[in-house]
Chain A
């Protein structure tokens, strides 16, 4: 069995995979407790930090962050899908390419413009996150569409589909599973941006603002505890999106080797 675990492309059972994961988690904690620098709080300290955080209303802050991220993800996907699907029309390709290139812009300079345009509060937070995620999502979606081979389009043409219907059948429906994957990747970007954005707009709270406060007072146990909460919130979002993908696109995983 040990050999199989280290052999490339060897498919192992779920039981073996669970054992590998448990062993690695155990090793992680051993390294954390025994070998981590002294400045890093130990697991028990982090665990104890949850109590004061709970009393300070961290659950409410987490809810604010979660809803902000989901709203931002929703708008990001609507905007990105519209831009990407519309690249079927030549007229829309330059704008899509320009939006994709905006991923090289720094957000710091743009936040002022967003503040002047939108004001503050939830709208500003969502707008900044949507901008940050959209430029990457459009890049991924446009690349996905570009990778569709010509024979897929030809196949639909031979079945007498109109060009609009081809976009629906080949691009929209045919690639729905990949859209879910891109959505999962970009939801993670949202969580990464959240701390920064909630640091800028603190009026509504949110887990990012609490994180920055704890950072300011060098309360590392609480910082770690908050990071763990963000970690699990992110994993939860990813699980929900993965489950939705499984329901909406049951064909997608049928031929994968490592399911």
Chain B
């Protein structure tokens, strides 16, 4: 496989993000840039996994990146989209797929997608066409007339992702997409996220998770939130991006059947050991 690649511009940038509730410092100086990956002769999106132990501030960072939290007295710094224009994120600019894959239960599958398209400014006809194309792509064309309550968990997740792709431009944030899934289902979700990344050059998925092996299987870059310790071994409040891994350079991205590679297992073990220090 041709692994030649380069970067061309910025998709999403975290600029000195700090979150503190009074004395309780959650995040301290989070800086990170998701760059557009370019590969000759193909559309290659980006998949970044944000890892970190429970309670470290992943959800706070996720909500900020989703535009669901607005910088105020407790939150400083910024999250911006784009290279030149640098648009601050606000709700609706980036797609968000929450852990429970929320959908409008009172709307049928197609209607769920069409309303999202309408919110993004599409005409009804254009929204229906785009919705049907997405459903086709996700293998759900025959489910367009179903209620969400009639779908399986996996189907709901795909509809929820499709709904966000109807509305957002190219960036989708996913909160714990592997949580509570069996290993086969995890592989399906990994394949789905990789499929999305291949649909468009600018498609960017940020996966917030604590499932190490799934993160390594799906991502091209991994960032790990962590805290430092003082001399006595106690955590110093305030997590930041303590580790960054470029899985492409490590030969761990875009590989079919990646879980069978010995270096996959080795790296997962290294990350697991790293978690103990976070």
Contact = CB atoms under 8 A, between A and B. Distances in A.
Interface of A: 151-152, 154-155, 157-161, 169, 173-174, 176-177, 249-251, 254-255
A254 B68 contact: no
9 contacts: A154-B91, A154-B98, A155-B103, A158-B95, A159-B119, A160-B120, A173-B104, A177-B106, A254-B147
B98 A155 contact: yes
Chain B interface size band reads 20 to 34
A236 B163 CA distance: 41
Contacts of A158: 66-68, 91-92, 94-96, 164, 167-168
Nearest to A253: B149
B150 interface: yes
Contacts of B105: 174, 251
B51 interface: no
Contact of B116 (A159, A176, A249, A250): A159
A160 B100 contact: no
Most buried by B among A154, A169, A249: A154
Given A154-B98, A155-B98, A159-B163, A254 B104 contact: no
A162 to B, nearest CB: 10
Interface of B: 63, 66-68, 91-92, 94-96, 98, 100, 102-106, 115-116, 119-120, 147-150, 163-164, 167-168
Nearest to A156: B104
Nearest to B172: A158
Most buried by A among B67, B68, B105: B105
A154 B116 CA distance: 14
Contacts of A169: 104
A152 B102 contact: yes
Given A154-B98, A157-B91, A254 B149 contact: yes
A174 B150 CA distance: 16
Most buried by B among A158, A161, A250, A251: A158
Given A157-B68, A158-B66, A158-B95, A174 B149 contact: no
